[in-house]
């Protein structure tokens, strides 16, 4: 099979959650453990850092990988979902896994894994760990796929665990209260392994404290450490005044990066405490060059000027709330929002937050979970959000650009799949 045929085979033979939703979800670790044993427990051959959370885990994972790479480590990075190419999920020092490895892995191993009927994520995780071991990485930053306790990444024995924050998402799997969701995320906390908690509420903090005490894990609350003193917008990113590292520049935009940065700085200090050689220059360079170093996309990413066009992959209540606040800070004649969602999110709560003074271009991504754009348009009207609907993101963007003056602001988001279609369209 060619690379494209191999990826299509993976999507079809192992259902992809981002495409079909809950039918692709498999509870339990039995298949993961069978795959891990077959491949010789590859995750034991390199150090790991485990990152969970509702929002921010992608930015935190990529920034930590950038810092570690800048410090001279050979760094694996395993994240999801991908936006354009499957290979984005598995990187070493920013370089995506080779097409040849993906093709050869599937051809060589499908006779073994097909009878197991693994999920797409179970199979991809096994592929990533095998690749990292084969390529002899020093350390891998591993992002949890969904939840934590039963996520197939949870077989690793990391040096540090990070849980960024908790807000409602994937409630059909993780629970309908913050306490229940925190309990699932807390499942990555392990005996003797330091865990950094980025943000808490009174109910989630108790969950994390109890779990850490139960298993004997040192717990550090980033909000109490105050590694970040203040942040000021600068060159589409931020200048951060820090407690231990002076003033550093972070290239990632988005108000939520302030919280992420405090979590990352706290994690870096913990990694230094346990023997990682991370100097000041590596921290500065890591924050300043995340996108070039790791290939990160879709985080308050500017893709056009006059009119200014920005996309962001935030897609749940927590992520959208930060985006809405940041939109309020922008200067424009007219705010134009290209917006689409998937059908298993809390659509009503998200629509209730969206700015009413904007012109909307409702659209849908090319995935089965996409909420039809016409249905979203009618639902949005109940919240006094008005506009037309378009069958594709490319058509919505074309319409918005045609309507816009040079001083307008066009935002594209609502779902990581909307952003994926945008970036894939190359408009």
What whole-number distance in Å separates Cα of residue 423 and Cα of residue 427? 8
Strand 308-311 to 409-413 pairing: parallel
Residue 178's pLDDT is: 87
Judge whether residue 174 has pLDDT over 70: no
Residue 167's pLDDT is: 73
Fill in the DSSP letter of residue 154: G
The pLDDT tens digits for 327-379 are 998 999 999 999 999 987 789 999 999 999 999 999 999 988 899 999 999 99
Residue 148's pLDDT is: 85
CA 218 to chain CA centroid, nearest Å = 25
The pLDDT tens digits for 94-120 are 999 999 999 999 999 999 999 998 989
Quote the mean pLDDT of the chain: 92
Neighbouring-strand partners of residue 50 = 142, 161
Residue 181's pLDDT is: 87
Neighbouring-strand partners of residue 92 = 76, 95
Residue 315's pLDDT is: 74
Judge whether residue 90 has pLDDT over 60: yes
Does the pTM of the predicted model rise above 0.85? yes
Residue 24's pLDDT is: 42
Fill in the DSSP letter of residue 282: H
CA 329 to chain CA centroid, nearest Å = 24
Judge whether residue 192 has pLDDT over 80: yes
Residue 386's pLDDT is: 97
10 Å CB burial of residue 63 (0-12, 13-18, 19+) is buried
Judge whether residue 220 has pLDDT over 60: yes
Contacts of 147 (CB under 8 A, 6+ apart): 52, 170, 173, 174, 184, 185, 187
Report residue 12's pLDDT band, with 50, 70 and 90 as the boundaries. Answer: confident
With a pLDDT cut of 90, the percent of the chain lying above it is 78
Coil, strand, or helix at residue 291? helix
Phi, psi of 206 (to 5 degrees): -65, -40
Contacts of 381 (CB under 8 A, 6+ apart): none
What whole-number distance in Å separates Cα of residue 175 and Cα of residue 298? 27
What whole-number distance in Å separates Cα of residue 114 and Cα of residue 13? 8
Residue 168's pLDDT is: 53
Lowest mean pLDDT among 17-21, 76-80, 265-269: 17-21
Lowest mean pLDDT among 21-25, 271-275, 300-304, 332-336: 21-25
Contacts of 293 (CB under 8 A, 6+ apart): 65, 66, 69, 70, 93, 94, 286
Judge whether residue 20 has pLDDT over 80: no
Lowest mean pLDDT among 19-28, 156-165, 224-233, 375-384: 19-28
User: Is the bond preceding residue 81 a cis peptide, omega within 30 degrees?
Assistant: yes
Report residue 255's pLDDT band, with 50, 70 and 90 as the boundaries. Answer: confident
Residue 367's pLDDT is: 86
Using only C-alpha atoms, the chain has a radius of gyration, in whole angstroms, of 21
Judge whether residue 426 has pLDDT over 90: no
Mean pLDDT across 400-421 = 96
Residue 408's pLDDT is: 98
The full set of domains in the chain, from first to last, is 3-294 (3.40.1190.10), 301-425 (3.90.190.20)
Question: How many CA atoms does the CB half-sphere of 133 hold within 13 Å?
Answer: 15
Among 184, 313, 298, 211, smallest CA distance to 252 is for 298
10 Å CB burial of residue 184 (0-12, 13-18, 19+) is buried
What whole-number distance in Å separates Cα of residue 188 and Cα of residue 244? 28
Q: Which run of H or E residues covers position 373?
A: helix 373-381
Neighbouring-strand partners of residue 285 = none
Q: Work out the angle at residue 260's Cα, subtended by the Cα atoms of residues 272 and 346, and round it to the nearest 5 degrees.
A: 140
Write down the H helix ranges in 98-235: 99-113, 120-134, 171-174, 178-185, 202-215, 222-225
Query: For the packed helices 30-38 and 99-113, what is the interaxial angle rounded to 10 degrees?
Result: 110
What whole-number distance in Å separates Cα of residue 137 and Cα of residue 377? 47
Neighbouring-strand partners of residue 302 = 310
What whole-number distance in Å separates Cα of residue 221 and Cα of residue 163? 10
CA 236 to chain CA centroid, nearest Å = 20
Residue 55's pLDDT is: 86
Judge whether residue 306 has pLDDT over 70: yes
10 Å CB burial of residue 213 (0-12, 13-18, 19+) is exposed
What whole-number distance in Å separates Cα of residue 271 and Cα of residue 290? 19
What whole-number distance in Å separates Cα of residue 412 and Cα of residue 310? 6
Coil, strand, or helix at residue 270? helix
What whole-number distance in Å separates Cα of residue 417 and Cα of residue 207? 32
């Amino acid at each position: 099979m060619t690379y494209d045929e191999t990826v299509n085979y993976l999507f079809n033979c192992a259902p992809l959650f981002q495409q079909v939703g809950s039918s692709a979800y498999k509870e339990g670790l039995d298949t993961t453990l069978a795959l891990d044993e077959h491949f010789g427990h590859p995750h034991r051959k390199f150090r790991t850092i485990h990152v969970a959370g509702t929002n921010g885990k992608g930015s935190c994972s990529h920034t930590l990988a950038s810092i570690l790479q800048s410090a001279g480590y050979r760094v694996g990075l395993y994240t999801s979902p991908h936006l354009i190419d499957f290979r984005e999920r598995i990187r070493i020092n920013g370089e995506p896994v080779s097409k040849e490895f993906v093709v050869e892995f599937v051809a060589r191993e499908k006779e073994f894994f097909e009878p197991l009927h693994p999920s797409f994520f179970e199979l991809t995780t096994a592929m990533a760990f095998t690749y990292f071991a084969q390529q002899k990485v020093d350390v891998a930053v591993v992002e949890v796929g969904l939840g934590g306790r039963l996520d197939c990444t949870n077989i690793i024995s990391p040096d540090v665990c990070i849980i960024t924050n908790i807000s409602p998402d994937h409630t059909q799997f993780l629970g309908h209260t913050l306490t229940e969701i925190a309990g699932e995320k807390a499942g990555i906390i392990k005996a003797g392994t330091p865990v950094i908690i980025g943000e808490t509420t009174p109910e989630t903090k108790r969950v994390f404290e109890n779990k850490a005490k139960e298993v004997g894990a040192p717990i550090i609350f980033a909000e109490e450490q105050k590694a970040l003193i203040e942040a000021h917008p600068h060159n589409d990113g931020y200048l951060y005044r820090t407690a231990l590292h002076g003033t550093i520049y972070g290239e990632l935009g988005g108000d939520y990066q302030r919280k992420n940065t405090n979590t990352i700085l706290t994690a870096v200090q913990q990694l230094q405490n346990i023997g990682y050689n991370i100097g000041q220059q590596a921290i500065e360079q890591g924050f300043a060059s995340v996108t070039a170093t790791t290939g990160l996309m879709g985080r308050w990413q500017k893709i056009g000027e006059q009119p200014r066009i920005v996309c962001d992959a935030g897609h749940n209540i927590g992520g959208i709330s930060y985006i809405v606040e940041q939109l309020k800070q922008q200067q424009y004649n007219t705010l134009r929002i290209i917006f689409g969602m998937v059908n298993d999110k809390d659509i009503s709560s998200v629509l209730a937050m969206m700015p009413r003074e904007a012109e909307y271009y409702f659209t849908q991504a090319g995935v089965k979970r996409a909420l039809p754009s016409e249905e979203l348009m009618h639902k949005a009207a109940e919240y006094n959000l008005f506009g037309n609907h378009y069958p594709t993101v490319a058509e919505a963007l074309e319409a918005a650009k045609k309507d816009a003056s040079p001083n307008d602001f066009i935002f594209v988001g609502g779902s990581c799949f909307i952003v994926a279609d945008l970036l894939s369209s190359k408009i």
